[in-house]
Structure 1
Amino acid sequence: MRSLPELLHRTLFRTMSLLSPKGQGVILRRYFDWWHRSPDPWKLSSDGYEQHKYRSTLENLPARPYVRIMEVGCSEGVFTETLAKTYPEAEITGVDVSERALERARSRMPDAGRVRFLRADILTHRAEPRYDLVFCSETLYYLGRHDRLRRASDQLSRLLGPGGVLVAVHPWPEAVRLHRFLDAHASLSRLTERVYTAPPRPFAVTVYGAR
């Protein structure tokens, strides 16, 4: 069961989703810029839970080459750096709404010409359907209501090229609600799902393939 602060947190973002997608994006950008006033506010580079989640995510990927990879909600590029080491031949794009976070992400990998970082909002971003692998982790619950989750599912599915793979990672059992529209999307099929129930925060890694 989620704690009271977490429930209030979710309620706040559901209320924000009453705004237009553009208005919601402005608020989210300011919110995350505020959070990133100090480096690594969620300790993504040092927390054992986060490192376990990164390893578990990679373990669930289908074994195949990935030439073009996108990470949605990349923050300061901690997992992006792991992807760059895991797939040294891939072109990797990290996307986030916070320019302050992206500045730190770029400084983390200043010489990696095949890795780029782009400020964009998943609800409004337009990109070519060219990616072999797309990650969306700990992001969807910020979008709020069902219509925004449906829109995000459409956007994520459009990023995938033929045979592309989408990986969604979110808290369990909240992932059931957050992944609902991905499960129902006509252009996606669920390949695998693994739930990690160990404390402090259970999570699910759900893998989809482009139809």
Structure 2
Amino acid sequence: MTGIPDQLHRAFFKTFSLLAPGVQGALLRRYFDWWHRRPDPWSLATDSSEHHKYLATLDQVSAGAYPRMLEVGCSEGVFTELLAQAHPAAEITGIDISGRALERARRRTERYRSRVRFARADILEHEEHARFDLVFCAETLYYLGRHDRLRRASARLRSLTAPSGVLVLVHPWPEAELLHGFTDSDQTFSKISERVEANVVRPFAVSVYRNNQAALETGPSSMSSGWTS
């Protein structure tokens, strides 16, 4: 989807945020299971622009070891598979609201089953207590609608990112300015990089943040060390 149809698609889901979070989540689960009645409904595995976005996202992440990774909104596991290939030592968790999508994600990543797992979860309600060294959240936040839901999602992403860990947000541009704004204003995070591709079929932004919680807790002297790859 591009242009006006894409905008109408996202505007439609904003109306769901007028409902209570639990009701909103239940409707989204039913919708996305219906949407995934056929494989790869967004052509994520075959669309060249999606592949370009995936590679741009991976390219923005500084080289290094990330033992535990989380992908929020993993759908059918196309990007999860790329992550597993790019980081052969990492344990990866993918969450999505659609059980049907997750069934296909498990089949797609079968060869990595010893270190890739999936869970059906809503980012607003997810009760995962683990913290991750690298967290991805792509093409997900605009489904949440109202600012209070975006603020809540930002806080949840913060709680899932380990101290000194990295959070990567990927959303359509210029809408990403709003969707990433709550993380931009969160003093726990510092933005390390941002890549905006405005002259492509589906403009997007990749924003990368570091969780500075450990430095904040130990005082200003720790903050001076900055980002290291």
After TM superposition, the score normalised by the length of structure 2 is 0.89
Cα deviation digits, residues 17-65 of structure 1 (max 9, x gap): 0111111110111111111000001111111001000100010002221
**Match for residue 184 of structure 1?**
185
1:8 and 2:8 matched: yes
Q: Secondary structure at the match of 2:110?
A: coil
**Match for residue 206 of structure 1?**
207
Structure 2: distance between partners of 1:4 and 1:32: 21
Give how far 1:188 is off.
Answer: 1.3
Structure 2: distance between partners of 1:158 and 1:167: 14
Q: Secondary structure at the match of 2:127?
A: coil
**Match for residue 162 of structure 2?**
161
**Match for residue 104 of structure 2?**
104
Structure 1: 5+ residue stretches without partners:
none
Give how far 1:107 is off.
Answer: 1.1
Q: Secondary structure at the match of 2:18?
A: coil
Structure 1: distance between partners of 2:4 and 2:173: 16
Structure 2: distance between partners of 1:130 and 1:8: 35
Structure 1: distance between partners of 2:35 and 2:68: 29
Q: Secondary structure at the match of 1:177?
A: helix
Structure 1: distance between partners of 2:194 and 2:9: 26
Cα deviation digits, residues 158-179 of structure 1 (max 9, x gap): 0011211000001111100111
Letter in 2 for 1:167: V
Alignment of 1:1-211 (within 5 A): 3-111=3-111, 112-211=113-212
Give the aligned CA root-mean-square deviation in angstroms. 1.2
Among the aligned pairs, what percent are the same residue? Answer: 60
Structure 2: distance between partners of 1:3 and 1:47: 16
Give how far 1:200 is off.
Answer: 0.6
Structure 2: distance between partners of 1:77 and 1:197: 26
> Which segments of structure 1 move beyond 3 Å, counting only runs of 4 or more?
none
After TM superposition, the score normalised by the length of structure 1 is 0.96
- Which structure has the larger Rg over C-alpha atoms? 2
Q: Secondary structure at the match of 1:17?
A: helix
Q: How many residues align?
A: 210
